[in-house]
Amino acid sequence: MIDRSFGDRVFNIINYILLTILTVIVLYPLLFVLSASISNPEHVLRGDVWLLPKGFNVDAYTKIFQNKDILLGYGNTILYTLIGTAINLAMTVCAAYPLSRKDFAGRGIITGMIVFTMFFGGGLIPTYLLIKNLNMLDSLWVMVIPNAVSVWNIIIMRTFFQQSIPGELQESAMIDGCNHFQTLFRIVLPLSMPIIAVMVLFYAVGHWNSYFNALIYLTSKDKFPLQLILREILIQSDSGEFIKLTSESAVRMKMSVEGLKYAVLVVANLPMLMLYPFLQRYFVKGIMIGALKG
């Protein structure tokens, strides 16, 4: 359609301008962090850096990769993300396949039982006591088992199985003598790669970014994931008070800590932000499948 009228053209121009402003607002803090991380901390703290890096300097990065806490946290996060996502995926498939089949007696009851937990739960304290009784406190398992599967993702995957995989295909496989396991592994899953990619991404981002379970259930520092280490560096170290930088040594000390923070932000986010543009269409697809049913 061509916008003929004058008003519509004005609308288009304003629309483009507003969207551009919005995009700049979102982009600016991200670019600033990146520039600041490769600038001389002195310029950053004095407020000389606005957009482009000043006094190119990658000391902060070398320092980070010498920091034992950060490296250990990184390792732990990768471990939790790998194991956690594998468990999540297996559980989601185990739930979604039976629930997608019409001949599965009891699927109404089981769906109801699962969905109910979205709206009501025992709460933090009873859950904490349960974990304690199961002797899972401060273990690897507490990072991957209590959130082994998400209701929302089960629904998304079930909907995908129902709508995108022809029922006749499953029927004919069964007639040809396939049992449910064979149908699932030979017919359904190979046709579900897009949705499996979406699930892997949703779950992996969740594990990578979460700190709540670690905060509540972990006590020994060598098990802390990256996010808890970040919290110490970025938030707990910040007094928030107005400190007058008077003495030379105070300035230098403040600088060595503050200068690190930008680089820490970059290092923590890089894997996600680098992967994301390539995987964007999968993410969006997942949301859309969820939206159909939601």
Partner 1 sequence: MKSSDAALETPARLLTKRSRSELIRRAFTKNWQLYLLIAPVVVYYIVFHYLPMYGIQIAFKDFIANKGIWDSPWVGFKHFERFFNSFYFERLLSNTILISLYTLALSFPIPIILALMLHEVKSEGFKKVVQTITYAPHFLSVVVIVGMLFIFLNPSTGIINHMIVAFGGEPITFMTSPAWFKTLYVLSDVWQTMGWSSIIYLAALSGVDQQLHEAATIDGASKLQRIWHINLPTIAPTIVILLILNLGSVMSVGFEKVFLMQNSLNMSSSDIISTYVYRTGILDAQYSFSAAVGLFNAVVNFALLIVVNYVARRVNETSLW
**Where does this chain touch partner 1 (CB under 8 A) — which range of 61-69, 141-149, 157-165, 191-199?**
141-149
- Cβ proximity to partner 1: between 23 and 164 the closer is 23
Residue span 227-266 as binding mask against partner 1, x where in contact by CB under 8 A, dash where not: x--xx-xxx--x-xxxxxx--------x---x--xx-xx-
Min dist. Cβ of residue 79 to partner 1 (A): 17
Helix (H, G, I), strand (E, B) or coil at 136: coil
Contact 290, 152 (CB under 8 A): yes
Residues 93-112 within binding reach of partner 1 (CB under 8 A): 94-95, 97-99, 101, 103-105, 110
Minimum separation from the CB atom of position 289 to partner 1 (A):
9
Which amino acid, 277? P
Applying CB under 8 A, among 91, 137, 140, 197 the residue interacting with partner 1 is: 91
| CA gap 61, 262 in Å, rounded | 10
Which 8-state DSSP code applies to residue 143?
A: G
The count of chain residues that interact with partner 1, using the rule CB under 8 A, is 102
> Could you give the CA distance from residue 35 to residue 53 in angstroms, rounded to a whole number?
5
Does 172 interact with partner 1 (rule: CB under 8 A)? no
Q: How many Å is the maximal CA-CA distance in the chain?
A: 83
Q: Is 130 in the site for partner 1 (CB under 8 A)?
A: yes
Among 13, 55, 108, 117, binds partner 1 (CB under 8 A): 117
CA atoms within 13 A on the CB side of 228: 23
Alpha-carbon distance values, 267 to 61, 224, 230, 261 (Å)? 8, 17, 10, 10
Convert residues 197-226 into a mask of x (bound to partner 1 by CB under 8 A) and - (unbound).
--------x--xxxxx---x----------
List the structure tokens of 43. 């310029």
